[in-house]
Structure 1
Amino acid sequence: MANGSGSRGRGGAPRRAGGTKPSATKRTAGAKKPAPRARATPERTPAEEPRSFVLGAIPGATPGKWIALWRERMPHVTLELREIPVATQRSALDEVDAALVRLPLDDPDDLHVIRLYEEQPVVVMSADSDLTAAEELDLADLAGEVVIVPADDVVHLTVPDAVPPAFTPPADTADAIATVAAGVGVVIVPMSLARAHRRRDVEYRVLRDGPVSAVALAWPRERTTPDVDTFVGIVRGRTAQSSR
């Protein structure tokens, strides 16, 4: 006969309705939960203050690829490109962080100078000149030609048997090439300047036996800053991960 005291499970423990045992959660309800672990806060690198880097460049220099790499690696440092005349490039080094200059430099002892590349000289002439018939020229081909030497000349070449102009030398290369375009004489410049002053009414030919013009990176020894070191590394082809 059934006992009126109700159903019991094994061992006498009372069963809950539905025949389930008390849950483990219920039995441990009084236990303390473990304290959550504190998360480690990552160290933050302080942001660098915005600043600028001033790069001087003589006419004809083409630092575009280096500037693009600088902006990629140093977005917090604005690069300012400043054109400097060759005639005053030495004194201009006191006003910039570094500069692309033409060699030779006056009083280079207190400067760091890295020779970068050499440019061939070219003869710029009117598009109607007979000299355009040749693919390249020699100094002997310029005998009897009026050779214009502008005030900002960087080639410093005396052409044997050339005819000196009967007018005051132009103030700069741009004016000299404009004169040549009018059909008067020729002018000898590094190739980059001929390209910089390209016109449809002039052409140029390489002067095979003319002097090359060397372009260098220079900066004062006493102002070798981390930014200058970074730019030097870019010019020398170091990657962002390379050590100096």
Structure 2
Amino acid sequence: MTFSIAFAAGVTPTKWTRAWAERRPDQPLEVFRTTPDEQSAVLRDGRAQVSIVRLPIDEHDLSLIALYREIPVVVAAKDHFIADADSLLVADLADEHLLQDPDAVPEWRDVATEVREGIRRPLAAVRDMDETMELVAAGVGIVIVPHSIARLHSRKDLVSRPVEDVAESQVSLAWLAAETTEDIEEFIGIVRGRTKASSRVDSVACRRREGQEGEEDRQGQGRREGVARRRREGKARRGQEDPVRARPHPQHREPQARQAHRPLSRAARAGSGSGSGSGCRARPSHPPRLVLRAPTAPLRARHAWREAAQLARGPTRLARSGATGARSRQRSGCRAQAGATGCRRTVLSLSGALRRGSPR
């Protein structure tokens, strides 16, 4: 059986029909647009199961769900004065001729000059909104309609602006209260944004698919739980075989445990060694550390020999290498005592002595 959806002019049900096609590919769908006079009639004569209507309508024996609201706009010819405004009040339109029933816009009816003075001329006979827009473009009058209607019939020779103090129009979903079926419940869930998993009533095919998917999910969950259990058991066995691996990392211990394993300070170690620091913690036992120290005497001799060799190369080489500090002061002292020649001879003698006595 085909599921039929009717919708008022200006309404865009595409996102809902697309969701229906994805959720119910086995259910044919029929969508058609209605006129303002037959929005509720299509439900009572059986042409549609649900109808997206624009209020007001005859709500007798119908159930309705509010979907959204629309702002009203005034539509006029392109050269009308409303083109210079961002928005308007209904009082700004009091002297205009409305190409609609005044009762359809009671806010304009209460302030309209032609209604108050009784000079309102009869409306021209038009078949639909397209012909009404032709009269508006010709400058005969204006219309005040919901924004979606103005957008549906937009033209280059027309201009529309919001009217701030006119009531918004309500768009709702309607169906016969006595004929609420599973298909209607599912479409209600779609327009309310419920997913397939959260729908209150699903069709037999959906329940069958969900049962299969649920069984697959349960099997996958069982496999994941088994893997996690085997991992926990393996970790427990490894912890029993290897106590070192079972011992937690110091960062993961409790604060008291971390405090107990924290190294003692120098003052605490001195107090514990003398026996006077009764309030100090007992230092944990650790294996003795092996400290390796390099012999210093041969290294000092080697450094002295290297400095003497650099001094022997002459003041020019020392100046080029940027030697400073003790070597520069030693070179200046030699110059002051024996002159440049004597200092060079002394340094060479010292270099030879150190070379003979330096370790290889």
Aligned to 1:171: 127
- Structure 1 CA distance, aligned partners of 2:129 and 2:101? 6
SS of the equivalent of 1:62 reads coil
* Structure 1 residues 85 and 166: alpha-carbon distance in aligned structure 2, compared to 1, 3 A threshold: closer
Is the 2:150–2:160 contact (alpha carbons within 8 Å) kept by the matching residues of 1?
A: yes
In the alignment, which of 60, 66, 84 is matched to residue 16 of structure 2?
66
Distance 2:30 2:107 in 1: 33
Distance 1:199 1:149 in 2: 19
Does residue 1:207 correspond to 2:183, yes or no? no
Cα distance, 1:140 vs. partner?
0.9
**2:246 corresponds to which residue?**
none
2:102 matches 1:146: no
| Partner of residue 77 from structure 1, selected from 20, 27, 42 | 27
- Note the 1:50-199 alignment, pairs <5 A: 51-94=1-44, 95=46, 96-108=48-60, 110-149=61-100, 155=105, 158-159=108-109, 160-163=111-114, 164-165=120-121, 167-199=123-155
1:156: how far off? 5.5
Alignment of 1:30-45 (within 5 A): none
Q: Where in structure 1 are there 5+ consecutive unaligned residues? A: 1-50
Structure 1 residue 185: Cα displacement: 1.3
- Residues 1-26 of structure 1: CA distance to partner in whole angstroms, max 9, x if unpaired? xxxxxxxxxxxxxxxxxxxxxxxxxx
Cα deviation for residue 169 of structure 1 reads: 4.9
With over 3 angstroms needed to count, the CA separation of the structure-2 counterparts of 1:156 and 1:87, relative to structure 1, is farther
Equivalent residue, structure 1, for 2:191: 235
Q: Give the structure with the higher percent strand.
A: 1
Q: Deviations for 1:54-97, whole angstroms, at most 9, x for unmatched residues?
A: 00111111111111111111111121112111112222112211
Change (3 A) 1:67 1:219: same
Cα gap change, 1:154 to 1:167, in 2 (>3 Å)? closer
Aligned-pair distance for 1:124?
0.3
When you count helix as a share of all residues, which structure comes out higher?
Answer: 2
Taking structure 2 as the reference length, the TM-score comes to 0.50
- 1:226 maps to 182
Deviations 1:182-219 (A, max 9, x none): 12211110111001111111010001001211111010
In structure 2, how many angstroms separate the alpha carbons of the residues matched to 1:73 and 1:150? Answer: 43
Larger radius of gyration: 2
Contact (CA 8 Å) 2:90, 2:108: kept in 1 or not? no
Residue correspondences, number: 192
Q: Which runs of 4+ in 1 moved over 4 A?
A: 153-157
